[in-house]
Amino acid sequence: MSGTSAALKPPAGAVKPVRHPDAPAPGELLGSHYEHCFGCGGGQAHGLHLQARAGEGVSVTAEFTVKPAHQGAPGLAHGGILATALDETLGSLNWLLRVIAVTGRLETDFVRPVPVGTVLHLDAEITAVHGRKIYSRATGRIGGPDGPVAVAAEALFIEVKVDHFIENGRPAEIQAAMADPDQSKRVRAFEVNP
């Protein structure tokens, strides 16, 4: 990315990220972290329905198809939708560390237009960890995983405790997520953005 801000540069003392031993295996579909998430949930009619897969090390890949409901300009994806796809993909990385983290900062470069009907191929990786701060980057390509870059982002995620969501979310949704008998789903519901 051009002109990355100082907030997205790992400080001295940052360490290389380490994949958690219980993280999903490379190639494994991560699935939706929350049914009603606009980025990955199946419960959103006009959502992205983004599907991420664990990669090697601390990386993920994902794809989503730009639909007519995702337009900004006629026939082209809205920039906010593309930023959402990057943010969702970057947020999926935290499952490889097995931490709950929220987006602290996201800087996006829009390189070329993405037409409706296009499959956006995303790849993301964690580059460094410093205390509760997780530094990462992602690209979105059109025409295939090796196609031209359409969008790119760098991000800073902040590790939080589940209390962050309990104290700030709507009680009905929080209670429903906490009541899920599937412990993995219960934890994953709270792994993403503020």
The two structure tokens encoding residue 182: 């599937």
Predicted TM-score (pTM) of this structure = 0.82
CA dihedral 64, 70, 72, 77 (to 10 degrees): 20
- Strands 119-130, 149-159: pairing is unpaired
Digitized pLDDT (tens) for each residue of the chain, 194 residues in all: 556 788 899 999 999 999 999 999 999 998 777 777 777 777 778 888 888 999 999 999 999 999 999 999 999 999 999 999 999 999 999 999 999 899 999 999 999 999 999 999 999 999 999 999 999 999 999 999 999 999 999 999 999 865 545 455 556 665 666 666 665 655 555 554 43
The string of pLDDT tens digits covering residues 135-148 is 999 999 999 999 99
d(CA 91, CA 104): 11
The string of pLDDT tens digits covering residues 87-122 is 999 999 999 999 989 999 999 999 999 999 999 999
∠ Cα 146 147 148 (to 5°): 125
